[in-house]
Amino acid sequence: MIDVINLEKHFGGTQVLRGISVKIEKGDIVVVIGPSGSGKSTFLRCLNCMEDPTGGQIIFNGVDIADQRVDINVHRRHMGMVFQHFNLFNNKTVIENIMLAPVHLRCQDLRRAKRSNFFNRIGNVFRKGEQKKELLPVTAGKAEIRREAREEALSLLKRIGLEDKADVYPATLSGGQKQRVAIVRSLAMNPDVILFDEPTSALDPEMVGEVLDLMKALAREGMTMIIVTHEMGFAREVANKVLFIDEGQILESGSPEEFFGNPKNPRLKEFLSKVL
């Protein structure tokens, strides 16, 4: 599904990623670990072009999204992202946070469909029989889109047990609650893959569990996930592929059993001995 080919990233003169290649299939749970400053977060942020890659290709669903000419916004809809600091929209209530993007993008699609129908209808007057262009179906109005999105958002909130928090502002939530809302916010777009950038690093220890539990549940449902984390236990339990990145390169990758049980790279051995 995602095919990363020789990905490179420079910040000014410093090269942060030095040619990373990895293939991610549908349903994969990929965990990326590495010492701080190794480039693992940059790697993740390059995957949805939050940082523009300076070299290489990222083939996502058949399109090279590292290409500057591609409309990245279209592809980001299919790629959720969860941040270390949650980044919930502070000026929106919890449910608005979840609804904002789906409602806006569906309304945008609706406007576009109506516009193109309008012109095609005029054009069709001058076209004959088979040349007539087909009109796009306009199924739902704005109010209906909102109502549908609200229902979806509510059922997502119910799933994480926060439906009673639907109308409060994020400032009133605990860190764990914020992160779970952030996760369902990305779920609301029905993404093909979700990128997690150290999702538990900013949490109090007692809140790490609830977020990891939600992520495990997603994993069981077959969601494709790419996770940068320091939670080795989680990596071992959930991942089906673990990458070790240091100095902008993948030094070792493999299944968690092999990766943790029988590491080959000396740097990885050293790293694991420190963190385990």
- Residues contributing to the site for other proteins (CB under 8 A): 48, 50, 52, 73-74, 76-77, 79-81, 83, 85, 87-93, 100-101, 104-105, 169-172, 182, 185-186, 189
H-helix segments, 62-204 = 72-76, 94-126, 142-159, 175-187
- Name the residue nearer to other proteins (CB basis): 53 or 170: 170
Minimum separation from the CB atom of position 54 to other proteins (A): 12
- Name the residue nearer to other proteins (CB basis): 149 or 251: 149
Backbone φ and ψ for 55, nearest 5 degrees, come out as -165, 160
Minimum separation from the CB atom of position 190 to other proteins (A): 11
Query: Which amino acid, residue 225?
Result: M
Element (H, E) at 250: strand 249-254
Minimum separation from the CB atom of position 36 to other proteins (A): 19
Rounded distance between C-alpha atoms, residue 276 and residue 269, angstroms: 10
* Three-point CA angle 8, 241, 88, nearest 5°: 70
- Name the residue nearer to other proteins (CB basis): 185 or 256: 185
Is the distance from CB of 192 to CB of 1 less than 8 angstroms? yes
Minimum separation from the CB atom of position 90 to other proteins (A): 6
- Name the residue nearer to other proteins (CB basis): 148 or 247: 148
Minimum separation from the CB atom of position 37 to other proteins (A): 20
- Name the residue nearer to other proteins (CB basis): 143 or 171: 171
Helix axes 175-187, 94-126, angle to 10 degrees: 10
